[in-house]
Amino acid sequence: MSFDVIVVGEGIAGLATARDCARAGLRTGTVEQLMFGGLVTSINELVDWPAEGGDPCSGSDVATNWITEAADAGVESLGGCAIGLASAPGGLLLHTDAGSHEARCVVVASGASRRPLGIAGEEDYAERGLSHCADCDGPLVKGADVVVVGGGDSALQEAAVLAHYARTVHVVHRGSAFRARPSVRALFERAFEGRPDALQVHWQSTVSAIEGAGGVEAVIVDGPSGASRLPVRAVYPCVGLVPNSGWTGLATDAQGAIVTDDRLAASLSGVFAVGAVRAGHGGRLIDAVADGALAAKSVKEALQC
């Protein structure tokens, strides 16, 4: 079965691309190994993306709307995990763990994974105090001390959520100033209004170790004055993302993000890349949707539709 275009990934950038391609009359398929929506589904209150009427909107709500629109437009969900990409007579061959698919174009929207802290034994604490979703398990740390590692949007959003549950939120940041957008910083500051003692920021510091027998009990923080031990019940790493590009074989930058031109075309003819997997992506939902619109336009032009 051959497609005009297959989109690898059902995050917001991928769904936006697939929907627009299908609406243009292209036979469009998607491949997604996990749950549709991507990392945004772990956020209960999105910043700069209100629902109708200005009310807060969750990432799950946004993802559900986009998957519904894509399905209504005629996008076929193929399932499986993409494992390879190659040129083929008349187009491209996308290999998945469930089989291979022919397509005239492929759009890589496989997103990115959360970057680990890179410390020994980190994986042993997964689901035992090391978490990537404050919205999911905030109630489990009610009244406890926790640590958030990072200084960007994700870190401050996690800290803002935890402010409603934790006794003390330690934010450990290797820099001397936060990198988060003004709107996220405002959300963060509001969360701790009236509770200044509930927030402790450790500037120019890193977490070098996690301790605990049955789960997280403490972290070792290396700062300007040396190492210190912080007793905490949970750790929330927010130290960036790693592009999910290794399976593609496409040209990438030093960070592993796929290099594209101004049409979002990648190094293999007929292949485009959108969202967090590509170099230069802005990182916001609005950027993901814009990528989808541009990629769909580029695919239509490539296929002379």
Beta bridge partners of 289: none
Note the pLDDT of residue 305.
59
Angle between helices 12-23 and 59-73 (to 10 degrees): 20
> Which has the closest alpha carbon to 100: 116, 81, 118?
81
Do 2-113+241-302 and 116-237 have matching folds? Answer: yes
| CATH architecture classification, 2-113+241-302 | 3-Layer(bba) Sandwich (3.50)
Taking CA atoms, 285 is separated from 43, 154, 184, 266, in Å, by 12, 13, 14, 22
The CATH H-level (homologous superfamily) assignment of domain 116-237 is FAD/NAD(P)-binding domain (3.50.50.60)
Give the whole-angstrom CA distance, residue 222 versus residue 226. Answer: 6
Q: Which pLDDT score is estimated for 59?
A: 83
Tokens 């690898």 belong to which residue?
Answer: 8
The pLDDT of residue 194: 87
The Cα-based distances of 29 to 90, 117, 235 in angstroms read 17, 35, 38
Residue type (1 letter), 281: H
**Residue 54: what pLDDT?**
64
Q: In a 10 Å sphere around its CB, with 0-12 CB exposed, 13-18 middle and 19+ buried, how is residue 120 labelled?
A: exposed
Contact present, 96 and 81 (Cβ < 8 Å):
yes
What is the pTM (predicted TM-score) of this model? 0.91
Mean pLDDT in the chain?
A: 94
The number of CA neighbours under 13 Å toward the Cβ of 67 is: 18
d(CA 77, CA 54): 32
Domain ranges of the chain: 2-113+241-302, 116-237
- What is the pLDDT, as a whole number, of residue 175? 97
- pLDDT at residue number 50: 65
- What is the per-residue pLDDT for 86? 96
- From CA 255, how far away is CA 71, in angstroms rounded? 33
**Exposure letters 82-112 (e unless 16+ CB within 10 A, then b):** beebeeeeebbebbbeeeebebbbbbbbbbb
- Amino acid 141: pLDDT: 95
Residue pointed to by tokens 């070792």: 220
**Mean pLDDT, consecutive 10-residue segments, the chain of 305 residues?**
93 97 98 87 77 73 93 94 94 95 97 94 93 92 97 96 97 97 94 94 98 96 97 97 97 98 98 98 93 98 87
Q: Which of 242, 235, 291, 238 is nearest to 266 (CA)?
A: 291
Can you say how many angstroms the Cα of residue 83 is from the centroid of all Cα atoms in its chain? 20
